[in-house]
Structure 1
């Protein structure tokens, strides 16, 4: 039996539309060990009460003791950290003296949502272009026809993926989109040198942010060094902006 352990919680929606609760446990055993403690579908509600009940049952089923829990890491969702009905306060009450922390990758993702106005304009314009193509089958066909004729390996604009990859693909297909677009605003933006420079700048910066977020997930150390490296990258990007 371990002397103490910590938990990391995440509640997300699967591709099938099901609410899935994931709980990872970390404990000292020879070297630091991290394992998946539970993966369970919340069939009714995703409230703090239901989340706590599911985790509490798992704790007792695995012969663990709440008193040995020293830290609980979660995202900032109300169902997790709400002062009255959140799952984390209920777990802290059951465990007694225990710390709680906010997942660093969620903090990172939240921080990147606050964009300067000039970059937000670029992102909004890119999203409108992508939605326009995806919602018009003829536009998709024209783009495919154009890229096939030029021998380009891929023709699809990405949707619902990392911001950096979305913008990079849009920048890569800018010339083909100018040929196929009929919306004057889109053509003006894709032929505006200043707009394209900002699009490329934002694409590169977003890709670096995505790389850091991905590297902070899963097993492995050196998280502090990765954050410091990202700070240097951001300093460089702001100096050339």
Structure 2
């Protein structure tokens, strides 16, 4: 039968001790200077004095304040093993090291257990072989357990979120939210929210949070996120992802092209769905000296898959025709038909062009002006390609039919009002052509007369230029940034979902991945030194 458990008293602080509570509820004193953890039975003034006098004091600690104990602790750390080995002593090195290792684990998207199963054992082994047992003993005190890593990541994630929210509050211009949802490996809906805002004369993009309440994201008239926000804030502008509209537009195909695509997909699946036929086809390609040996799978989900599949099929149509002929496939004769091959060639080229347009509108930092300029340029190319085809000057486009693709694009991308000319070219903008009642014209005139700003305009990007004008020309800068801050695509959401899938695997399907994803994606670094200063250093045992 265990003895009576002693209770902590705040009076013990004057003896140089603080207290921790174990899982079983027992309280244990910890020395403020050497971090030694004594047993519960040591919670008595005499035993605490004995420890302090034996290791740290000379009897002059009776009236020592907490601040003075911290000074003594700093002196004790400076005499520790690491400094003897040539390392520079820092405040709470064990705690700081624990945070730094946890941050590296999160950045790589690794399991929390890797700290105690790989990182720490590897560090101890290297320390023992190179620096000796003393260094190994010091490194063994760094806590890297699964629970410790999770706790460190949660603290750093909250710190990053606090920094981002503070930046949003202090941002001189409007900010923009990007939302999209997906389903993770545990069949749980995940709503990702990212933000774009102005800070330090730059437009920044940051991950904000994950939400699992299944909130409607799309632009439904009644229950969609856009409708719910507009009910409380009618001035909010809601836009749809330009890549989603682009994908919908390119799905509209004339009957002949749709039939060709259907046949091609069936033939590819016929080869790929059989391991034997797949091996036979690969060997056939090798014998014929083909550049490729494998057919690509078609997917309606992937925006770029269609163009890649058609290009590969056209490059391997001779080999595919021979295999289908040998197996007496019903579509074997299609690849001998000249019209079928011409349509396939046209589709391969046109979808390659569409894929190139798609890639131009992807990535971080793309603004709506750049995306719409790329789209308008593509739309203007279509009539030119049609005229070339009619004059037999471009053999890859023999069946471009009545502006079908251009009309489809026009349906999904209606013409909108042009952007103010002064946003693009503030120094060549003709003031005489503008409305004299516009209040911002005064600032434009002042800007046009500044030689310093003209030099800056020539040496920096357009968005950065307008960010740097917030202090001197706030009216026109805010108006201009309204065209640069909005998101064009949900590329960043897709990127966060991709990272989430890397982190939340089938073996980690119960993980709440928000903290890990924020640390992996965020460009904002956690303030580890501040976090360390707020916590007490604990050694691993």
Structure 1: any 5+ residue segments left out of the alignment?
49-78
Separation (CA, whole Å) in 1 of partners of 2:384 and 2:186: 41
Deviations 1:170-228 (A, max 9, x none): 11111111121124432211111110010010111011111111211222352232112
1:84 aligns with 2:222: yes
* Matched residues, number: 209
Separation (CA, whole Å) in 2 of partners of 1:16 and 1:148: 42
**2:252 counterpart SS class:** coil
2:311 is matched with: 168
Alignment equivalent of 1:220, drawn from 366, 374, 379:
366
CA shift for structure 1 position 15: 8.1
Separation (CA, whole Å) in 1 of partners of 2:295 and 2:224: 39
In structure 2, relative to structure 1, the CA distance for the partners of 1:231 and 1:25 (3 Å cut) is same
Considering only CA atoms, is the larger Rg found in Structure 1 or Structure 2?
Answer: 2
Higher RCO, 1 vs 2 (CA within 8 Å, ≥6 residues apart): 2
Aligned Cα RMSD in Å?
2.5
In structure 2, relative to structure 1, the CA distance for the partners of 1:41 and 1:192 (3 Å cut) is farther
Alignment equivalent of 2:349, drawn from 200, 204, 210:
204
1:54 is matched with: none
1:46 aligns with 2:214: yes
Separation (CA, whole Å) in 2 of partners of 1:83 and 1:220: 27
1:180 aligns with 2:323: yes
TM-score normalized by the length of structure 1: 0.76
2:238 is matched with: 100
In structure 2, relative to structure 1, the CA distance for the partners of 1:121 and 1:237 (3 Å cut) is farther
Structure 2: any 5+ residue segments left out of the alignment?
1-169, 390-398, 400-541
**1:97 counterpart SS class:** coil
Alignment equivalent of 2:384, drawn from 232, 236, 240:
236
CA shift for structure 1 position 32: 5.1
Separation (CA, whole Å) in 1 of partners of 2:186 and 2:349: 32
CA contact (8 A) 2:175 2:198 kept: yes
The structure carrying a bigger strand percent of its residues is 1
Separation (CA, whole Å) in 1 of partners of 2:187 and 2:359: 23
**1:99 counterpart SS class:** coil
**2:331 counterpart SS class:** helix
